[in-house]
Amino acid sequence: MLRLAAPLALTELGWLAMAFVDTVMVGRLPDSATAIGAVSLGSTLFYTIGIFGSGIMLGMDTLVAQAYGAGRLEECHKTMWNSLYLACAIAPVLMLSMLAFPAVFPHMGLSPDLVAETVPFLKALVWSTLPLSLYFALRRYLQSMHIVKPVVFTLISANLVNLLGNWALVYGHFGFPAYGVAGSGWSTCISRAYMVAVLAVAAVYYDRKRSSGLWSASRRLELERIRQLFRLGLPAAVQLLLEIGAFSFATFLIGKLGAIQLAGHQIALNVASFTYMVPLGICSAAAVRVGHAMGARDAHAAARAGWMALFFGALFMSCSGLVLFFFARPIARVYTPDRDVVSAGATLLLVAAVFQLFDGLQVVATGALRGAGNTRIAMLANLVGYWVIGLPLGAFLCFKLKMGAVGMWVGLCLALVLIGSALLWVWHLVIQDLMAPHAVASGMEPSSSK
């Protein structure tokens, strides 16, 4: 588990490091609060819609991992080809959806200065939709076949590309004009195109090295395989949409409180997302390892993989909670020298410290369940936890009780406590069912169709 989880966790940290670089680079512009707020609004809107499309590819964690565990390499290749076709089909729809949102910004109570910076940033970022979808498809294919080195290299090197791009396009170096906040969006777009190119080369290289038959496998469009991807990936994508959408909705509501509280929210969200990336990497490892065990029809191996992943996720996030609690203000000061923004961010980091453990449990349990072919329970848990309980409570505390951004974060904290506890219990029940005599006796059929 560690051999697979460690590089994938590093990959997720590298993924978030791009957002960190974007935030820090624009945070040194003259009006740092507005610049950080624009990156926050534009990024959250993009990820709310863009990640939904990429989330469809999460069905590959089940299909490719279980096929690889069963030794059916041709099935892995066929799924990869069809996932690329699917990515090309859904990208234009997602782009049009994102480009429709700037028209409603002025009617959402946001300040004109904030809108003026957000719109160019979003319009630049939207061109990374197709590269992002293709990247997710290639990454899921490679890591489900236990090929993780090129995934790690891609993210680390892409951060260097993004850093140079920000330096050149935000501030106007290397002969480029200074685009300000919009330059950060173009830099991210370039780095994502680079990631797709590197993973495509890696897929070809490892196919030749292993003689796995990538090019001899059928590359025709298979509607049934697309339907399988949708059946497994759509609930996973909706789960991501519900989770990211909850924080996106909270961001827009907090935007009504002014640039200071919005900037503090962005800092706390960026830090919480940073710690979240480690259990997210463990989540991917859990999906792969559980999927391999399910493909090999080994219930005991599936149980061991899932529980070990949960242990590592809980251990890391408990340590993260302690760090955030004791070092909230120094962490916030890394993002900006503005004292008011630092104070707002540090207060929210204290709330984030409380939900760290449960955030880790819910994301790792989601991956373990996905490896077992169960993607619907996490979707339902996020629907109830965030949208029925957490957000309404947060809005009540934020606006009715005048608690501001802190009230919104308290509601989100309660949602994560409930979701994490519920999914841990569901995983326990799934394992009990897998270990039951009738499941073992029947050879433990892979549950990708359940």
- To the nearest 10 degrees (0 to 180), the angle between helices 32-55 and 339-371 is 10
pLDDT computed for residue 260 by the predictor? 87
Question: Can you say whether the dihedral through the CA atoms of 37, 318, 235, 390 is positive or negative?
Answer: negative
Q: Is the pTM of this model over 0.95?
A: no
Nearest to 183 by CA among 113, 112, 124, 114: 124
pLDDT tens-digit series, residues 185-241: 899 999 999 999 999 999 999 999 988 889 989 999 999 999 998 888 889 888 888
Cβ burial of 195 (10 Å; 0-12, 13-18, 19+) is buried
- Lowest average pLDDT, out of 45-54, 205-214, 327-336, goes to 45-54
> What letter does residue 317 receive in the DSSP assignment?
H
Token representation of residue 357? 């453990």
Token representation of residue 107? 């009617």
CA dihedral 103, 388, 272, 21 (to 10 degrees): -10
CA distance 317 to 89: 37
pLDDT tens-digit series, residues 4-35: 888 888 888 787 778 778 877 887 777 777 78
CA 232 to chain centre: 17
CA distance 282 to 367: 8
Whole-number Cα distances in Å, 214 to 193, 217, 257: 23, 6, 53
pLDDT computed for residue 444 by the predictor? 53
Which residue has better confidence, 47 or 232? 232
CB 333 within 8 A of CB 349: no
pLDDT computed for residue 146 by the predictor? 86
CA distance 364 to 352: 18
> What letter does residue 232 receive in the DSSP assignment?
H
CA distance 423 to 417: 10
440 has pLDDT over 80: no
345 has pLDDT over 60: yes
CA distance 440 to 434: 7
Q: How many CB atoms lie within 10 A of CB 35?
A: 27
Cβ burial of 206 (10 Å; 0-12, 13-18, 19+) is middle
Cβ burial of 196 (10 Å; 0-12, 13-18, 19+) is buried
CA distance 352 to 330: 15
pLDDT tens-digit series, residues 422-433: 999 999 999 888
- Report percent pLDDT > 70 for the chain: 97
Structure confidence at residue 448 as a pLDDT band (50, 70, 90): very low
User: For every residue of 282-299, which 3-state class applies, written as one string?
Assistant: HHHHHHHHHHHHHHCCCH
Nearest to 279 by CA among 303, 314, 321: 314
74 has pLDDT over 90: yes
R_g over Cα of the chain: 21
- To the nearest 10 degrees (0 to 180), the angle between helices 129-144 and 59-69 is 30
CA distance 419 to 386: 8
Structure confidence at residue 44 as a pLDDT band (50, 70, 90): confident
Structure confidence at residue 439 as a pLDDT band (50, 70, 90): low
- Report percent pLDDT > 90 for the chain: 51
3-class DSSP assignment, residue 218: coil
CA 137 to chain centre: 14
CA distance 397 to 390: 11
Token representation of residue 163? 């850093």
Structure confidence at residue 441 as a pLDDT band (50, 70, 90): very low
247 has pLDDT over 90: no
Averaged over 293-306, what is the pLDDT? Answer: 91
Q: Taking CA 86 as the corner, what is the angle to CA 85 and CA 91, rounded to the nearest 5 degrees? A: 105
pLDDT computed for residue 130 by the predictor? 92
pLDDT computed for residue 4 by the predictor? 87
CA distance 289 to 8: 13
Which residue has better confidence, 125 or 49? 125
Q: How many CB atoms lie within 10 A of CB 421?
A: 16
**Distance from first CA to last CA of the chain, Å, rounded?**
25
The residue assigned the tokens 């994560």 is 416
